[in-house]
Structure 1
């Protein structure tokens, strides 16, 4: 029986008190018996947490009481046991490293499409204006190898900070097409979409909530394989279930 709720969420928002917030977040998450990782930076928050449903939802209510995180949306999945061994709350330079400080999503998001729109475009192979749709995978190469959208562009990134150089090498191939950047939960494809727009590509969108949110709405439509996740489950299928045998053993 699946009794562990897993939540992934992020938000780009200015956090001037990251170190002070770290202490209160750790204390509150620990009080609720949660495991996982929370990353904080001046640019925002990125979290992956697991625990019993009521305590985890209570923690998220506490977090959303902070006006900076009001309405924070989370991607949900369930497992038999927590896929994390401990709780960590860390302050970093970026919540997702791109090494391009001019990209500041908190100052304004790139346009996003939801899962329903993405599926409609993929069903047709065209966007609502009739342009060819290109799905651009912004994840690392090893993640892509577990599964991706059918026909997606894969630049074989070693790490996300390789994305700017890869775009410079391939930008001409995307001109005149509608580009939808995607990743696991939305954080990398959001930065990538902003960078592409600043580089001069006009018709660029991000897949809101990434693959995990798409799975919630559309299941495995147009997706081949499984989605890699950075915890002990390793991958999730289109039903957001871990591969058989991938969950951690009971200690």
Structure 2
């Protein structure tokens, strides 16, 4: 029986003294015994929190009672257990890292793509003059994406502006952007408009809302989420799995972090290879002296690690998915 809930949300709204607000908000969340991850910046809130239904109801009521966040749209999942282990609420320069910090250039409160409700998105996505654009990172769209979607080779959303030249060829088409919960599309669509794209739309509420209100039709695979569930099914109409095990090629939707904390690579791995390699991406990592215990989930509480300069150098030359740096 699902006695807990997980809330996914964001709200672009100016917050003065955001760093102080982040500490106060953390204390409030802890008072409700919530767990999760929230990012606070001068531009607003971005979070996923989990707890009892009563605690989640109190949290949503408190957020909506604040005039700054009254428009917040919560995506609610019923879950059998909390989706996090700890509660974090951190102050950062942006609520989703894009490198587009100047509100004079990009301000989602002033201009974004036209918001499409899930059923509107479903009706428009197969038109000939439409390009469905996935603005998420490699490790996200590798585990699941819309049928016929255009995906970008990026490791983090902050690389999105670098891909605009590749999108120039689609300027005469309708661009339908989508992401997990909608937050990345707010800035991605705004940037596309600024760069001269005329007909830009975004899926309101993202993949998660599309699954709840449109049955997830034509979303292939599962949706990557930023908690210990890692990925969730969204398609109840024509479901499929598109990702494969890195080690053996078996079709699987399971994503883990390598049990070697120095590597910590994020990748898909089937249960058989997970058991054989003890949750590692390779035999080399399996033999590492700091290897973590693999409990079958591949999800670990993040602890500070020394900077791996060799890995950073390697990422510059090949597609090498990284540990989570974003939230939906």
Q: Structure 2 length normalisation: TM-score?
A: 0.70
* Matched residue, 1:178: 174
Kindly indicate whether the alpha-carbon contact (under 8 Å) linking 1:81 and 1:247 is maintained by their aligned counterparts in 2.
no
Higher relative contact order (CA 8 A, sep 6+): 1
Instruction: Tell me the secondary structure at the aligned position of residue 22 of structure 2.
Output: helix
How far 1:246 sits from its partner (Å)? 5.5
> 1:203 aligned to 195, 199, 202, which one?
199
Residue 46 in 1 paired to residue 53 in 2?
A: no
Give 1 or 2 for the bigger CA radius of gyration.
2
Contact 2:207 2:216 in 1 (8 A): no
Label 1:98 to 1:92 Cα distance change in 2 as closer, same or farther (>3 A). same
Does the residue aligned with 1:64 lie in a helix, a strand or coil? Answer: helix
Structure 2's unaligned 5+ residue stretches are: 237-252, 255-270, 272-295, 300-328
Residue 239 of structure 2 is matched in structure 1 by none
Say whether 1:112 aligns with 2:110: no
- SS of residue matched to 1:10: strand
1:54-93 aligned within 5 A: 54-93=54-93
Give 1:247 shift. Answer: 10
Aligned to 1:150: 147
TM-aligned CA deviation for residue 73 of structure 1: 0.9
- Tell me, yes or no, if structure 1 residue 19 matches structure 2 residue 16: no
Deviations 1:88-119 (A, max 9, x none): 11000000011122322133433211101011
Q: Distance in 2 between matches of 1:89 and 1:220?
A: 31
Counting matched residue pairs gives 241
Report the Cα distance in structure 2 between the residues aligned to 1:98 and 1:71, rounded to whole angstroms: 23
Correspondent of 2:229 among 230, 233, 248 = 233
Counterpart of 2:157? Answer: 160
Instruction: Pick from 191, 210, 217 the counterpart of residue 214 of structure 1.
Output: 210
Q: CA RMSD in A?
A: 2.1
Separation of aligned partners in 2, 1:93 and 1:71: 22
Distance of aligned partners of 1:51 and 1:247 in 2 relative to their CA distance in 1, 3 Å threshold: farther
What secondary structure, in the 3-state scheme, does the structure 1 residue paired with 2:109 have?
helix
Is 1:133 aligned to 2:136, yes or no?
A: no
Alpha-carbon shift at residue 23 of structure 1 (Å): 2.4
How many Å separate the matches in 2 of 1:202 and 1:65?
Answer: 36
Q: Distance in 2 between matches of 1:161 and 1:132?
A: 28
Assess if the C-alpha contact under 8 Å between 1:180 and 1:205 holds in 2: yes
Higher mean displacement: 103-112 or 147-156: 103-112
Does the Cα contact within 8 Å between 1:5 and 1:78 map onto a contact in 2? Answer: yes
CA–CA separation in structure 1 for the residues paired with 2:107 and 2:91: 17
**Change beyond 3 A, Cα 1:98–1:156:** same
